[in-house]
Amino acid sequence: MLKTRIIPTLLWKDHGLVKGVGFDSWRRVGTVLPAIKVYSTREVDELILVDITATGEARAPDCDSVAEFSAECFVPLTVGGGIRTIEHIRDLLRAGADKVSINSAAYANPGLVREAASRFGAQCVVASIDVRRLPDGSLKCYSHSGSRPQDRDPASWARELETQGAGEILITSVERDGTMEGYDLELVRAVAAAVRIPVIASGGAGSYAHLLAALREGGASAVAAASIFHFTQQTPLEAKHYLATHGIPVRRHQLASDTLKA
Amino acid sequence: MKVLVIDYGMGNLGSVRRAFEECGADVLTSANSRDALTAERIVLPGVGAFLDGMAHLHAGDWPGQLRTALENPEVRLLGICLGMQLLADSGEEGGRTAGLGLIAGEVRRLEPEDANTRIPHVGWNEVNSTRPDRLLQLIPDGTDFYFVHSYHFRPASPALVLGTTPYCGDFASVVGAGNVYGVQFHPEKSSRPGFQVIRNFLAR
């Protein structure tokens, strides 16, 4: 059976690992490479690494740093931030990224996801959507790290990205991000129901129960989380135990350490 | 152990190289197909579409050189993900295309069993061995490996299947014929179980 993935998200700014609230008030929480090493050693299901300032500063992805990070990462690594061209994607995959996450560029250049999927395969294209809730309660997509409104609603935009060839959708609630108040389940549900590709819920996880809710009530295929792992004692491994006791299939580390040496 | 990782412009070459080095291999990543003739182990990685993959392999004159290299039974080839699929006779991704024809079979799109089955198949899923083989030594049935794919290999004969994975029915996730192996999962991204597969492949 396919296991449900729990994916720590690492946000990266000026060589530091950061975490904010609502895509703002960034706090430094460590350095990237040691964090990747630890997660890789602990055999997390997957990692998402996002360079949060690349797009704002119109910088290309920093492939040299990604190569350094991926050299220590033996679990799947999705890299995002600043991706605008096919060459950026090619270079990141060469640097050791397994998948790339495309967000802002997908609005400006609808051909990018399509070309990336046809060149590198849909399976390595993660389309990332950041969403804010307007005062009337409706949902609206935002690009450029949550700063620029786009005339799109998340469900139809997700469907369009799926048609363009995206292999997965990473759906993030900007307002919930960093609050640890729980995922925006209505948002997750709307997007998961709109597409047939896997949907990763992101933004707001503060407890194991929140992860379960995103899967069970939101219909997400996987959950991404950051603050819960940076700022609390909760861990991806314990999260799996919790989910397993609630009937969610998760990956166990079945191999005894004496049979296999890391 | 001299290991050639084929650079045909299609893949997460950095990850593959690092994992093989971690398992003690002396890795050469090369776009020159003549290097196939001096390697003891050859790895065909791959992230991408079948049609493009074959076009790149032909452009680099790989099909002929690989056949020549594999005439030596001591030499082994491992295809990973798209690299496994390219071992087949044909694929349909990007238009019907002839493959390397090293393991008889064809590559088809995964067919969802029900409305809740999402494609691509992304994440950790188990591999169950169907026939004892050195490639899966020390790996208990049910061990999870990392998958990310929309197409799967359909071998011409059950004898070519070494392991299966339950998704859209049981699909062949490990295939082998003589000194040619293919795995649909990514051993380079599957932590310790992945390293064990790599070590098994490297072992003399």
pLDDT tens digit string along A230-256?
A: 999 999 999 999 999 999 999 986 544
Q: How far is A18 from chain B (nearest CA, A)?
A: 25
Q: What is the pLDDT of residue B194?
A: 97
| Cβ(A53)–Cβ(A16) below 8 Å | no
Please confirm, yes or no, whether B81 is among the known catalytic residues.
yes
Of the candidates A68, A26, A203, A185, the one whose C-alpha atom is nearest the C-alpha of residue A128 is: A203
State whether A74 and B166 contact (CB < 8 Å): no
Would you say A148 and A142 are in contact if contact means Cβ atoms under 8 Å apart?
yes
Of A96, A74, A100, A76, nearest to A86 by C-alpha is A100
Of chain B, the end-to-end C-alpha distance in Å amounts to 9
Pick A123's closest partner by Cβ from B112, B148, B188: B148
Across the interface, whether the CB atoms of B186 and A76 are under 8 A apart is answered yes
Q: Give the mean pLDDT of A11-38.
A: 93
| Vertex A208 angle, CA A181 and A238, to 5° | 145
ipTM: 0.92
Burial of A153 (0-12, 13-18, 19+ CB in 10 A): middle
Question: Which of B56, B81, B149, B152 is labelled catalytic?
Answer: B81
Q: Tens digit of pLDDT for each residue in A65-92?
A: 999 999 999 999 999 999 999 999 999 9
Please check whether residue B175 is in contact with residue B129, taking contact to mean a CB–CB distance below 8 angstroms.
no
The one-character DSSP state at A213 is H
- What mean pLDDT is predicted for residues A18-39? 93
- CB contact under 8 Å between A3 and B144, yes or no, is yes
CB contacts, 8 Å: B148 with chain A: 76, 98-99, 123-124, 167
For strand B2-6 and strand B41-44, is the pairing parallel, antiparallel, or unpaired? Answer: parallel
DSSP letter at B189? G
Residue A231 structure tokens: 């700022």
Q: For residue A262, is pLDDT > 70?
A: no
Of the candidates A166, A171, A154, the one whose C-alpha atom is nearest the C-alpha of residue A219 is A171
Distance CA A220, CA A199 (A): 5
Neighbours of B67 (CB within 10 A): 13
pLDDT of residue A257: 43
H helix runs in A86-207, sequence order:
86-94, 104-108, 111-120, 154-164, 185-194
